[in-house]
Chains A and B, each alone.
Chain A
Amino acid sequence: MSIFSFFRSAPRPSAVQAKERLQIVMAHERAGRTGPDYLPMLQQELLAVIAKYIDIDQNKVEVKLDRGGDCSTLELNIELPAREQLKSAMAAVKKPDLKPSASADQDDEDDKLAANGPLTNGGVKKRH
Chain B
Amino acid sequence: MSKIIVMTSGKGGVGKTTSSAAFATGLALRGFKTVVIDFDVGLRNLDLVMGCERRVVFDFINVINGEAKLSQALIKDKRIDNLYILPTSQTRDKDALTPAGVERVLNDLSKEFDYILCDSPAGIERGALMSLYFADHAIIVTNPEVSSVRDSDRILGVLASRSRRAEQGLEPVTQQLLLTRYDPERVERGEMLKVDDVLEILAIPLLGVIPESQAVLRASNVGMPVILDEASNAGQAYTDAVGRFLGDEIEHRFVSPQKKGLFSRLLRRSA
Q: Kindly report which residue of chain A lies nearest to residue B145, judged by CB atoms.
A: A18
A29 at the interface (CB under 8 A from B): yes
- Do A14 and B157 touch across chains, with their CB atoms under 8 A apart? no
Describe B's contact surface by its main secondary structure: helix
Chain B, 150-171, CB within 8 A of any chain A CB: 150, 153-154, 157, 161
Interface residues of B in 105-156 (CB under 8 A from A): 145-146, 149-150, 153-154
Q: Is B190 an interface residue (CB 8 A)?
A: yes
* Residue A82 is within 8 A (CB to CB) of chain B in the complex: no
Q: Is residue B187 within 8 Å, beta carbon to beta carbon, of the partner chain? A: yes
A21 an interface residue at 8 Å Cβ cutoff? yes
Chain B, interface residues (CB within 8 Å), range:
20 to 34
B189-213 interface code vs A (CB 8 A; 1 in, 0 out)? 1111110010011000000000000
In the assembly, what is the distance between CA of A18 and CA of B150, in Å?
Answer: 11
Taken together as a complex, chains A and B put the C-alpha atoms of A3 and B270 apart, in Å, by 9
Number of A-B contacts (CB under 8 A): 46
Q: A3 — which chain B residues lie within 8 A by C-beta?
A: 266
| Shortest CB distance B175–A (Å) | 15
Do the beta carbons of B266 and A26 come within 8 Å of each other? no
Instruction: Give complex CA distance A34, B159 in Å.
Output: 13
State whether A22 and B191 are in contact (beta carbons under 8 Å apart), knowing that A2-B266, A2-B270, A3-B266 are contacts in the complex.
Answer: no
Measured CB to CB, the closest approach of chain A to B160, in angstroms, equals 8
Complex Cα gap A14–B189 (Å): 9
Q: A5-B269, A21-B146, A26-B201 are in contact. Are A15 and B190 (CB under 8 A)?
A: yes
15 contacts between A and B (CB under 8 A): A1-B269, A2-B266, A2-B269, A5-B269, A14-B190, A15-B187, A15-B192, A15-B197, A16-B190, A18-B146, A18-B197, A25-B150, A29-B150, A30-B153, A33-B157
Q: Which residues of B contact A (CB under 8 A)?
A: 145-146, 149-150, 153-154, 157, 161, 187, 189-194, 197, 200-201, 266, 269-270
Question: Footprint of B on A, CB under 8 Å?
Answer: 1-3, 5, 13-16, 18-19, 21-23, 25-26, 29-30, 33-34
